[in-house]
Chain A
Amino acid sequence: MENRPLEYDYTVTKMFMFTTIVLGIVGMLIGVILAFELAFPEVNTILGSGVAEYTNFSRLRPLHTDAVIFGFTLSGIFATWYYVGQRVLKVSMAESGFLMFIGKLHFWLYLVGVAAVVVSLFMGITTSKEYAEFEWPIDIAIVVVWVLFGISIFGLIGIRREKSLYISVWYYIATFLGIAMLYVFNNMEIPTILGTNGIGEAGFGNWWHSVSMYAGTNDALVQWWYGHNAVAFGFTVPIVAMIYYFLPKESGQAIYSYKLSLLSFWGLMFVYLWAGGHHLLYSTVPDWVQTMGSIFSIVLILPSWGSAINMLLTMKGEWQQVASSPLIKFMILASTFYMFSTLEGPIQAIKSVNAIAHFTDWIVGHVHDGTLGWVGFMIMGALFHMAPRVFKREIYSKSLMATQFWIQTLGVVFYFTSMWIAGITQGMMWRAHDEFGNLAYSFIDTVTVLHPYYTLRAIGGTLYLVGFFIFAYNIYRTMSARPVEESELQSASPMGA
């Protein structure tokens, strides 16, 4: 036996908490800039036309999506894994020098990857596939980072004390496997430098450039099988992992039904992957794939709501906590938005609705009520829960938390309501015909009509960003707040005024 009592080691968690916040600010700030660029095109050249190449909408757009997905969200997933993983498996990273080393290597390589992504996307080096924009050298780096994450997961599981895996661990394993499979198959590409050997003057052209292994329709099919499920295994599965741990822990309530969680887990695993076809309705992929995508999207409501209802019922008899604790508010709002966007998604996947919704801002709105409302709120909630335990300090300010909560909720509401109206308006105008059967509107008519909604959306995004700055400040001050006793850390997180 050791002399010092064994404690959980949160070194790697702290590192990833840091990148969650920094990359969250970067991604959301770029998002707000993009929103203003759509409402007021002059913003494209706000830093002068000399650098317009790097500040205009088209160059920044992949940076926004990748910064929030692979920066903010992925960091949040890693941070919570290194926290939740230890606790539910009842094993400390301090017990294994190897896992500690892997964890740190994981972080530093991840940081190198992030830097490479930022530089390459600013330069316009992209494969154009959404959420898979990186060229092959970065793809390889990402695979290495992901393998390290896998070693961390299975390494910690290998030395666990608790024989049974907790629900969250199921979801983390699924995240690891799902992203691994999807990422590898969607990024199959041949570096063009290989093709130059044929004519005996090898080595010209950009060495990082590659060409997709799939062409046209097949490429689209694989891409949206990936794109849809990158959302599944990046924005749904790991976030569900978080809420299954943090909500019961923070509220002190056991999961409403462990059985229901089992059914919804396997249901989600089976159903989710089929639904990718709903991104390609009325396209040139086979009809049966489209229909399948549509049907499975509807079926997907069941396992999604299974988890969401399980979360809400966990609060049964303890609803006063929602009023008294801002942290519980974050998580309950997150699961409510989860319910909401997993109902909205299937509605958009119905073929006749999709005919109007596809290519419009309604889709953008749908993504954002999922990401801002569900993913963002849950990750911030998780960080708020972890901060006192990781830093052994009380949360700096409860009132700031409440302020942030209401500002951001308002921001999300602005965002999705404006995008709904914008999307449906535009979808209806595109298809409108006059009494002679001619198109009623030219395309630009359907753009100018959106100006007020784009403005509202930009305001909503700004509110959310302001809330995020408050969050960052609150966490920063938490590091120097009043230290707390171990006994105060049982369930509800200690908060200063």
Chain B
Amino acid sequence: MNIAELQAYGYVAAMVILVILTYWYIYHLYTKKKDARGIDYEEYSNMALKDDVTDTPVSARSDDKEK
């Protein structure tokens, strides 16, 4: 098998795997509304809207340290 054939087989395999992974992940995203911390993924848009230095972070880094 020469390099061109290897490339072709590799390409097809990669495409199949990528398609499966992508659709699985999309399905996963749209079914699971909340993450481990109980935050809906869409709430992360608030990082832009409430971005004053005094605003409460959506998921604060200091929460980790307290644990």
Contacts and interface: CB of A to CB of B under 8 A. Distances in A.
Interface string A45-82: 00000000000000000000000000000000000000
Nearest to B29: A259
Interface in B1-40: 4, 7, 18, 22, 26, 29-30
Contacts of B48: 87-88, 166, 168, 244-245, 248-249, 255
Given A161-B61, A162-B61, A163-B63, A88 B49 contact: no
Main secondary structure of the interface of A (DSSP, over half): loop
B58 A249 contact: no
Contacts of A245: 48
A263 to B, nearest CB: 7
A413 to B, nearest CB: 31
Interface residues of B, number: 28
B59 A162 contact: yes
Interface residues of A, number: 31
Contacts of A161: 57, 60-62
B63 to A, nearest CB: 7
Contacts of A252: 49
A263 B47 CA distance: 19
Nearest to B35: A164
Main secondary structure of the interface of B (DSSP, over half): helix
B51 A258 contact: no
A492 B45 CA distance: 17
B55 interface: yes
B50 to A, nearest CB: 9
A8 interface: yes
Nearest to A256: B45
A25 to B, nearest CB: 30
Nearest to B8: A288
A8 B53 contact: yes
Contacts of A166: 44, 47-48
A351 interface: no
Contact of B49 (A6, A164, A248, A258): A248
Contacts of B62: 161
A202 to B, nearest CB: 42
Given A88-B47, A168-B48, A5 B58 contact: no
B11 to A, nearest CB: 9
B20 to A, nearest CB: 15
B64 interface: yes
A5 B4 CA distance: 63
A257 interface: yes
B66 interface: no
B9 to A, nearest CB: 14
A279 B11 CA distance: 22
B51 A249 contact: yes
Interface in A6-54: 6-8
Nearest to B46: A254
B49 A90 contact: no
A91 B60 CA distance: 12
Interface of A: 5-8, 87-88, 90-92, 160-164, 166, 168, 244-245, 248-249, 252, 254-255, 257-259, 262-263, 270, 288, 491
Given A88-B47, A161-B62, A255-B48, 7 more contacts: A5-B54, A162-B60, A163-B61, A255-B42, A255-B45, A257-B42, A258-B41
